């Protein structure tokens, strides 16, 4: 059939607006498209008025909606409803009807007026005089009773049995991808060229951040002090002059010198304790070492004497100040910019409707000014904390996610074979990355979608086909004429259980299309 003309309804649009929009249309077939978010024309009376106007203009009407109330009213008015544009092009359109029920009061079965009371009474008297004898009446009653019982039994055979047929038609996977362009100049989505309107956003954000500077400058320091114990390793006395060097040993040794001199008495094991102080190269906290760490001598005395500090050394302190480096400002500026983007994202989200989506990659600092970027210290300044107060204009782009989904649905529909339907509840949309920047004023991003297609099952025809056949024959017919999902079998249930055939009346057969587990 030819492609119908589409008329997109706005959310909560009323009857008067829709009827006025029908006037300039010259199409013989018109598909009313319900809004993706929200609804319209929810009352039965709304559809009746729109249908009458369409009939007056010679327009055949169908509806593209998933609103259950609208779909129910449409069935009552014999109007076709479709889930997608592709389904409307492949499906059959019903012709709407309007019923006018005019009750006839005070009329007899043949349309004549009721007789007078006097005529009615005379007729009953004449009928009473013609009644047959009592025995004949009794026999006739018995015959009528037997006939009624026979008819009841026959009716029971038709009415009592019922059957439920459950099976899963064969399904296929449909997939689609699209590179979508968000264009601020677009007003409506272009499904064929994958263009959706873009909503430019702008906001002023102010943020602050701080960090310790990376440079340090030592202003003053003190030397650590402690006591060490020398032990004679030989039998001769040993002189220990002032300034004797002792240290912690190893590649990162910390050196100390004795503040006083002394002599170790002769004999192995004799001991002498002397005070020590860290050398100038090890001023500050580096000279504070734990007990037992001083174990080396810096002269030939190491062959004659051993040394240990039984207590930690202490008193080594340094006083320094932070120095701001140029790279400190660069790091702090990058951190603050990221904070501004994060705050802008949160603030802009609050402005959007539930069906709008903010493209994260489109967020950028459009305007930065020197008077809006204030550091608390310059490179080379002494400071323990570097602070930045910054303000910037942030721009971003948002789209209506339903527009992108319409593009993907259109491409999925193009893959649906004749005689099959796309199962809307199985459609899943996936967001892809932004593949181009905002340099030309356009945002290009990728989207994908996938869903299942299923063969259209004419349940009325299937019920007619299965009426009165055996259970085995019913399964054979379903397997032969209705391709099933691999690994599944049809379930045929008949009540009462002793009845080996499906009901003769097709209306007593219920066909259920199972969902795949």
Q: What is the pLDDT of residues 79-106, one digit of tens each?
A: 988 888 888 888 888 876 644 333 444 4
Between the alpha carbon of residue 194 and those of residues 1, 33, 410, 449, the distances in Å are: 25, 19, 10, 14
Q: Is residue 166 in a domain?
A: no
Q: Is residue 304 in a domain?
A: yes
Query: Is the pLDDT assigned to residue 229 strictly greater than 50?
Result: yes
List the beta strands (DSSP E) in 80-224.
80-82, 162-167, 171-183, 195-211, 215-221
Mean per-residue pLDDT over the chain, rounded: 84
Q: How far is Cα 444 from Cα 359, in angstroms, rounded to an integer?
A: 10
Contacts of 300 (CB under 8 A, 6+ apart): none
What is the value of pTM for the model shown?
0.49
Per-residue model confidence (pLDDT) at position 276 = 97
Q: Dihedrals φ, ψ of 296, to 5°?
A: -130, 150
* Structural domain harbouring 81: 5-90
Give the rounded percent of residues in the chain with a pLDDT score beyond 70: 87
Per-residue model confidence (pLDDT) at position 160 = 67
Q: Is residue 193 in a domain?
A: no
Asked if 137 and 275 sit in the same domain, the reply is no
Query: Is the pLDDT assigned to residue 154 strictly greater than 70?
Result: no
Cα dihedral across residues 469, 473, 479, 480: positive or negative: negative
Asked if 236 and 307 sit in the same domain, the reply is yes
Asked if 143 and 282 sit in the same domain, the reply is no
Q: What is the pLDDT of residues 390-440, one digit of tens each?
A: 999 999 999 998 999 999 999 999 888 888 889 888 899 998 888 776 667
CATH number of 239's domain: 2.40.30
- The three-state secondary structure class of 45 is helix
Burial bucket for residue 477 (CB in 10 Å: 0-12, 13-18, 19+): middle
Per-residue model confidence (pLDDT) at position 347 = 94
How many independent structural domains does the chain possess? 4
Asked if 292 and 231 sit in the same domain, the reply is yes
Q: Is residue 515 in a domain?
A: no
Q: Is residue 174 in a domain?
A: no
Asked if 338 and 311 sit in the same domain, the reply is no
Q: How far is Cα 414 from Cα 429, in angstroms, rounded to an integer?
A: 16
Per-residue model confidence (pLDDT) at position 27 = 66
Q: Is residue 105 in a domain?
A: no
Asked if 253 and 289 sit in the same domain, the reply is yes
Query: Is the pLDDT assigned to residue 158 strictly greater than 60?
Result: no
Asked if 387 and 350 sit in the same domain, the reply is yes
> Mean pLDDT lowest for which of 23-27, 35-39, 48-52, 128-132?
128-132
Asked if 335 and 284 sit in the same domain, the reply is no
Cis peptide before 325 (omega within 30 of 0): no
Q: Residues 237-256: what's their mean pLDDT?
A: 92
Asked if 236 and 310 sit in the same domain, the reply is yes
Q: Which of 266, 283, 316 is the last residue of a domain?
A: 316
Contacts of 159 (CB under 8 A, 6+ apart): 505, 508
Q: What is the pLDDT of residues 344-399, one digit of tens each?
A: 999 999 999 888 989 888 898 988 999 999 999 999 999 999 999 999 999 999 99
Q: How far is Cα 517 from Cα 511, in angstroms, rounded to an integer?
A: 18
Per-residue model confidence (pLDDT) at position 123 = 53
Contacts of 222 (CB under 8 A, 6+ apart): 283, 284, 315, 316, 317, 318
Q: Residues 168-181: what's their mean pLDDT?
A: 90
Asked if 271 and 133 sit in the same domain, the reply is no
CATH number of 69's domain: 3.30.750.24
Per-residue model confidence (pLDDT) at position 515 = 67
């Amino acid at each position: 059939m030819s492609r119908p003309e589409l008329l997109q309804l706005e959310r909560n649009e009323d009857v008067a607006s829709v009827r006025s929009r029908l006037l300039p249309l010259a199409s013989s077939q018109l598909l009313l498209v319900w809004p993706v978010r929200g609804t319209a024309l929810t009352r039965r009376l709304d559809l009746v008025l729109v249908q009458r106007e369409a009939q007056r203009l010679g327009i055949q009407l169908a509806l593209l909606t998933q609103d259950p109330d609208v779909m129910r009213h449409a069935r009552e008015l014999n109007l076709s409803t479709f889930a997608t544009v592709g389904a409307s092009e492949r499906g059959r359109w019903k012709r709407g009807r309007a019923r006018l029920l005019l009750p006839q009061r005070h009329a007899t079965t043949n349309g004549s007026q009721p007789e007078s009371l006097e005529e009615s009474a005379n007729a009953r008297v004449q009928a009473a005089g013609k009644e047959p004898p009592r025995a004949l009446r009794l026999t006739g009653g018995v015959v009528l009773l037997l006939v009624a019982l026979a008819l009841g039994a026959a009716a029971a055979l038709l009415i009592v049995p019922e059957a439920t047929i459950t099976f899963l038609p064969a399904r296929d996977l449909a997939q689609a991808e699209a590179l979508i362009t968000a264009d601020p100049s677009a007003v409506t989505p272009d499904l064929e060229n994958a263009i959706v309107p873009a909503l430019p956003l702008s906001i002023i954000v102010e943020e602050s951040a701080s960090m310790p500077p990376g440079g340090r400058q030592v202003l003053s320091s003190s030397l650590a002090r402690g006591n060490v114990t020398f032990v004679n390793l030989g039998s001769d006395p040993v002189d220990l002059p002032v300034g004797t060097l002792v240290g912690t040993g190893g590649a990162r040794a910390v050196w100390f010198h004795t503040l006083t001199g002394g002599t170790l008495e002769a004999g192995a094991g004799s001991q002498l304790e002397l005070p020590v102080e860290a050398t100038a190269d090890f001023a500050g906290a580096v000279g504070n070492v734990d007990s037992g760490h001083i174990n080396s001598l810096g002269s030939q005395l190491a062959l004659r004497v051993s040394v240990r500090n039984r207590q930690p050394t202490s008193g080594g302190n340094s006083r320094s100040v932070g120095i701001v480096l140029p790279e400190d400002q660069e790091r702090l500026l990058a951190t603050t910019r990221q904070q501004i983007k994060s705050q802008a994202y949160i603030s802009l989200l609050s402005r959007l409707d539930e069906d709008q989506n903010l493209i994260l990659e489109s967020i950028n600092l459009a305007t930065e000014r020197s008077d809006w970027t204030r550091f608390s210290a310059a490179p080379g300044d002494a400071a323990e904390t570097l602070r930045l107060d910054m303000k910037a204009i942030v721009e971003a782009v948002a789209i209506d996610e339903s527009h992108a989904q319409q593009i993907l649905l259109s491409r999925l529909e193009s893959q649906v074979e004749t005689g099959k339907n796309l199962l809307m509840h199985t459609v899943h949309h996936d967001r892809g990355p932004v593949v181009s920047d905002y340099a030309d004023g356009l945002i290009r991003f990728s989207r994908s979608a996938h869903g299942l297609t299923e063969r259209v099952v004419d349940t009325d025809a299937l019920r007619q086909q299965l009426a009165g056949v055996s259970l085995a024959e019913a399964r054979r017919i379903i397997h032969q004429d209705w391709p099933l999902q691999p690994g599944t079998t049809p379930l045929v249930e008949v009540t009462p259980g002793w009845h080996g055939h499906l009901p003769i009346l097709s209306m007593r057969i219920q066909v259920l299309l199972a969902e795949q587990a």
